[in-house]
Amino acid sequence: MIAERLTRVLLAPIVSEKSTSLAESTNQIAFKVATDATKFEIKAAIKYLFKVDAEQVRVINVKGKKKRFGKIFGSRKDSRKAYITLKAGQEINFAETL
């Protein structure tokens, strides 16, 4: 895979109560990913950027909400989330990687 593409696959980590509890209990990390990213690309990007191995990648497509702005109806952008299960004994420390 091209390194330039791998750096654009992962957009941002998802920091919430749910993602924090998943990280502590089941060693899963949640990321916001590009809408055209495949599971194979996500797994390769994790290995390239953070030097850890992913055991499993689960992807969720989130549809944008329908919103109303006065008389005009519109919608927010669609997004995509990935839940990555890391192999036993591995972790990602975001403070050190920045």
Q: How confident is the prediction along the chain (98 residues), in pLDDT tens digits per residue?
A: 688 999 999 999 999 999 999 989 999 999 999 999 999 999 999 999 999 999 999 999 999 999 999 999 999 999 999 999 999 988 887 777 65
The answer to whether position 52 is within a domain reads: yes
Domain membership flag for residue 74: yes
Specify the pLDDT at position 38: 95
CA-wise closest residue to 37 among 17, 56, 18, 11? 11
**Nearest CA among 77, 74, 80 for reference residue 58:** 80
Range of the domain at 76: 3-88
We report the CATH number of the domain holding residue 75 as 3.30.70.330
Q: Is residue 93 part of a domain?
A: no
Q: Is the residue at 37 inside a domain?
A: yes
Q: For the beta carbon of residue 79, count every other beta carbon within 10 angstroms.
A: 15
Residue 97: its pLDDT value, please?
Answer: 60
Q: Calculate the alpha carbon distances from 21 to 9, 14, 15 in Å.
A: 24, 12, 10
Quote the pLDDT of residue 93.
Answer: 79
Q: For position 18, what pLDDT does the model report? A: 92
Residue 57 within a domain? yes
Domain count, the chain: 1
Model pTM?
Answer: 0.86
Predicted local distance difference test score (pLDDT) of residue 98: 54
